[in-house]
Amino acid sequence: MPATNTYNDQLGREVSIAYPPRRIISLVPSQTELLYDLGLDEEVIGITKFCIHPEAWFRHKTRIGGTKQLHLEEILALQPDLVIANKEENTAEQVQFLMQHVPVWVSDIQCLEDALDMIRSIGNITGKIERAAEIAGNIDLSFRQLATTLQARPPLHTAYFIWREPWMVAGGDTFIHTMLAYCRLENVFAGTARYPTIDLDQLKSNCQLILLSSEPYPFKEKHIRELQDVLPGVRIELVDGEMFSWYGSRLEKAAVYLHEFRQKLEELPHRVS
């Protein structure tokens, strides 16, 4: 019989988990990618349909529904000894159901420090402490360097769009807000919670830059033109949503992306339709 250890998740819950877990299900795309980068190919037995990285796992691992529409009975049938979830990306009702039957470790990420803590914690839980420490250390260093490099840049008043019909943006208590701050983009909705629905007229007086994310809504060039008609004086750019919102090992690539994006804003002319 494997040993059982007790860990605190990021909700402050104590979770008893077999050590090391041998049958892991991930309910969150960015954490799925982290499990891959920790070298847990054999241990991970189930992922969501949105877990697109790595491609080999997306093609061959068992899919257990979407992040907010989990196939609960299929998850239980796989007999996991660890399910890794997230407070925001999964629904409370479904996660609470799973908690009644299997060990569930829940992350709660609002800032970079939360992400680094999650990475180290999952490394500890899965027996991949050294690799997790390496990943977290690389991320921490790269973002410290980014902050130093960009500290003298003037802030740009920015709105980060995640949805259309209705228009929705990232508020001040989101991980996206933290990523914006690292590249000296000042969130004009910093005083709002989570992902508020907005009217475009709110941006006419106080916004210099609009970012249209590639996820969860797949914004395209046509949406730049749509918004430019309403907000002709505001710069509008498409961005890779994974680099602003994924809080696992993809953060190893994010600091470089954010630095290059900020450079592009200064080097390329403002597009006007």
Domain ranges of the chain: 3-108, 153-267
Question: How far is the first Cα of the chain from the last one, in angstroms, to the nearest whole number?
Answer: 66
pLDDT score for 271 = 52
Q: Which amino acid is at 204?
A: K
pLDDT band at 121 (very low <50, low <70, confident <90, very high): very high
Looking at domain 153-267, its CATH architecture is 3-Layer(aba) Sandwich (3.40)
Pairwise CA distance, residues 225 & 204, whole Å: 16
**Which among 177, 179, 196 is positioned nearest to 187, based on CA atoms?**
177
Query: What proportion of the chain, given as a percentage, has pLDDT over 90?
Result: 95
Q: What topology does CATH give the domain 3-108?
A: Rossmann fold (3.40.50)
Task: Classify 190 in phi/psi space as left (phi over 0), alpha (psi -120 to 50) or beta.
Answer: alpha
Q: What pTM, to 2 d.p., does this model score? A: 0.95
In this structure, which long-range contacts are made by residues 142-145, counting pairs with CB atoms below 8 Å and at least 24 apart in sequence?
142/251, 142/252, 142/254, 142/255, 142/256, 143/112, 143/182, 143/251, 143/255, 145/255
82 with 103: CB under 8 angstroms? yes
* 157-210 confidence digits (pLDDT tens): 999 999 999 999 999 999 999 999 999 999 999 999 899 999 999 999 999 999
Pairwise CA distance, residues 268 & 130, whole Å: 41
Distances in Å between the alpha carbon of 94 and those of 18, 25, 52, 63, 117? 22, 14, 22, 16, 24
Equal CATH topology for 3-108 and 153-267: yes
* 199-251 confidence digits (pLDDT tens): 999 999 999 999 999 999 999 999 999 999 999 999 999 999 999 999 999 99
